[in-house]
């Protein structure tokens, strides 16, 4: 991105912070680009169509244009396939693909999708490189591709394994970048992605274990690519990243340097971050969101890019320097961006779950109220205070009716409503809500309890603000 920024500043002849078409044409002189190519590039980068390219549009567009240009190049032997994804047909036939590549001793090779095996074990087998312990079988991706020193996709192509019996392709231009941790269960990763795709055969996942040459990755080639040039290009070309949380309550992916880099890169290029859950986690989603909500929020607040880990220390150091330098805002900004993206997903997913729960349990049920309370808290955490007040208002109505005015959970709702009012500088309703919360806490816990005293103190602080 630093080189892209330097080019932008050099081409910005009048220094107004944007590039018009004439400046782009002038900048492209001597590059060998045809006029039609320059026009196409300008149109692609001018996202909002205002006839100018801003710096943000340029930085995002440069990555996309680079990725598209890369995709048009015929891959050289041994190269990673940075814009190639694997399809649902590939996942379905993966056990038979492994058997065919293995050749002899077919019956001795277990079904890889039925093994209790991590992604790392699938890559390295019984090698000592496995930090999660030796794999259950000697055969592995690194071993299978060692002779050709190529990525797994290329190995399949060389063996003529490119399509299912019905003609469905195994490989296609990437539509979704998958961010995951190698220490998690591989068969669960596959079933989670199949569940996410919901039968859409046009979905094509960039999955590093298959697309990256495990012997000579792009950043260790004779002319090495930076992580931005390699994985950044893959992310930019599809602009949709699927973050697989395994398990979703306390996912290790949010502590891994690679995953945090992939998330921040997705946000940098203006991409969409989706979250994929396993079937088991989907079934427990409402329960965990309501019963373990404080733990979930604590896990989010514990995200710290500066402490992220990676198996290879050299990779970790390089990635952390890159993460810290993104947009020149440092680790704190990265942490906030990642937390904000996950919270936004939680709101969307919880709201979808709420609709189903209302149909099964009833709109006035305590189950719905508990989930709605979590949603209100999430709204507050991402600054959507009006939505938070609407959610808390619905919760308060149910809890007052079912639990009573002085119940601690009713008090919690009034306290959270007061906080949402305070954040909008609506101090009068904030004071009134803190008062009601304090009265309820006093009945439930006593007049000198910390919860009671805190609510009273905040109510007084709101009145002081009103007096100013």
* Per-residue pLDDT reduced to its tens digit, 311-327: 777 778 888 887 777 65
Residues 133 and 205: beta-carbon distance below 8 Å: no
How would you class 106 by CB atoms within 10 Å of its CB: exposed for 0-12, middle for 13-18, buried for 19 or more?
exposed
Lowest mean pLDDT among 2-16, 104-118, 277-291: 104-118
How would you class 108 by CB atoms within 10 Å of its CB: exposed for 0-12, middle for 13-18, buried for 19 or more?
exposed
Tokens of residue 397, six digits: 């109505």
Distance CA 430, CA 426 (A): 6
Instruction: Tell me what pLDDT residue 76 has.
Output: 63
Q: Which residue has the higher pLDDT, 229 or 436?
A: 436
Which uninterrupted H or E stretch holds 295?
A: helix 293-301
Distance CA 136, CA 118 (A): 10
Residues 227 and 322: beta-carbon distance below 8 Å: yes
User: What average pLDDT does the structure give for the chain?
Assistant: 84
How would you class 314 by CB atoms within 10 Å of its CB: exposed for 0-12, middle for 13-18, buried for 19 or more?
exposed
pLDDT at 58 over 70: yes
Give the model confidence (pLDDT) of 267-294 as tens digits: 888 888 888 888 888 877 777 777 777 7
Instruction: Tell me what pLDDT residue 188 has.
Output: 94
Instruction: Tell me what pLDDT residue 75 has.
Output: 57
Q: What is the mean pLDDT of residues 434-446?
A: 95
Instruction: Tell me what pLDDT residue 32 has.
Output: 57
Residues 369 and 399: beta-carbon distance below 8 Å: yes
Comparing CA positions, the residue from 64, 93, 457, 379 lying closest to residue 237 is 64
Q: What angle do CA 349, 355, 359 make, to 5 degrees?
A: 145
Which uninterrupted H or E stretch holds 71?
A: helix 55-71
Kindly state the DSSP code that residue 128 receives in the 8-state scheme: T
Q: What angle do CA 13, 15, 18 make, to 5 degrees?
A: 90
Give the model confidence (pLDDT) of 177-203 as tens digits: 999 999 889 999 999 999 999 988 889
Sole residue written with tokens 């312990």: 133
| Strands 205-206 vs 176-179: parallel, antiparallel or unpaired | parallel
pLDDT at 66 over 60: no
Which uninterrupted H or E stretch holds 197?
A: helix 186-197
Comparing CA positions, the residue from 379, 397, 400 lying closest to residue 388 is 379
What distances in angstroms separate CA 82 from CA 68, 154, 158, 324, one per listed residue? 11, 12, 18, 24
Distance CA 199, CA 265 (A): 28
Indicate the pLDDT class of residue 67, thresholds 50, 70 and 90.
Answer: very low
Which uninterrupted H or E stretch holds 18?
A: strand 18-19
pTM score = 0.73
pLDDT at 71 over 60: no
Q: Which residue has the higher pLDDT, 18 or 2?
A: 18
377 contact partners, CB below 8 Å, separation of at least 6: 293, 297, 388, 416
Residues 378 and 391: beta-carbon distance below 8 Å: no
- The distance in angstroms from the start CA to the end CA of the chain is 48
């Amino acid at each position: 991105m630093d080189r892209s920024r330097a080019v932008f500043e050099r081409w910005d002849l009048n220094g107004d912070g944007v590039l018009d078409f004439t400046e782009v044409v002038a900048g492209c002189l001597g590059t060998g680009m045809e006029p039609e190519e320059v026009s196409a590039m300008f149109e692609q980068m001018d996202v909002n169509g205002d006839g100018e390219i801003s710096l943000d549009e340029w930085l995002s567009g440069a990555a996309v244009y680079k990725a598209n240009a890369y995709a048009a190049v015929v891959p050289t032997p041994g190269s990673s396939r940075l814009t190639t994804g694997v399809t649902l047909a590939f996942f379905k036939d993966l056990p038979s693909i492994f058997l065919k590549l293995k050749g002899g001793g077919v019956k001795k090779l277990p079904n890889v999708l039925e093994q209790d095996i991590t992604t790392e074990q699938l890559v390295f087998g019984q090698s000592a490189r496995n930090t999660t312990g030796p794999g259950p079988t000697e055969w592995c991706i690194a071993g299978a591709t060692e002779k050709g020193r190529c990525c797994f996709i290329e190995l399949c192509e060389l063996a003529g394994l490119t399509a299912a019996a019905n003609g469905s392709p195994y490989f296609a231009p990437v539509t979704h970048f998958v961010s995951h941790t190698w220490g998690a269960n591989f068969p669960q990763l596959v079933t989670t992605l199949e569940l996410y795709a919901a039968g859409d055969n046009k979905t094509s996942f960039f999955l590093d274990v298959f697309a990256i040459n495990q012997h000579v990755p792009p950043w260790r080639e004779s002319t090495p690519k930076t992580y931005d040039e390699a994985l950044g290009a893959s992310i930019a070309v599809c602009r949709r990243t699927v973050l697989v949380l395994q398990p979703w309550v306390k996912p290790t992916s949010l502590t891994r340097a690679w995953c945090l880099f992939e998330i921040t890169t997705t946000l940098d290029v203006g991409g969409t971050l989706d979250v994929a859950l396993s079937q088991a986690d989907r079934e427990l989603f409402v329960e965990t969101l309501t019963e373990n909500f404080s733990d979930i929020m604590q896990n989010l607040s514990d995200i710290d890019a500066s402490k992220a880990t990676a198996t290879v220390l050299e990779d970790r150091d390089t990635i952390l320097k890159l993460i810290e330098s993104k947009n020149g805002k440092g680790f704190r900004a990265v942490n906030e961006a990642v937390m904000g993206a996950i919270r936004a997903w939680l709101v969307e997913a919880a709201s979808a779950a709420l609709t189903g729960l209302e149909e099964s349990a009833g709109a006035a049920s305590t189950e719905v109220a508990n989930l709605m309370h979590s949603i209100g808290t999430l709204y507050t955490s991402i600054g959507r205070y009006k939505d938070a007040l609407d959610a808390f208002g619905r919760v308060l109505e149910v809890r007052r009716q079912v639990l009573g005015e002085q119940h601690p959970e009713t008090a919690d709702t009034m306290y959270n409503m007061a906080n949402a009012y305070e954040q909008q500088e609506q101090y009068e309703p904030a004071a009134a809500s803190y008062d009601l919360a304090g009265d309820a806490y006093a009945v439930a816990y006593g007049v000198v309890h910390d919860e009671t005293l805190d609510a009273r103190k905040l109510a007084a602080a709101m009145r002081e603000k009103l007096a100013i």
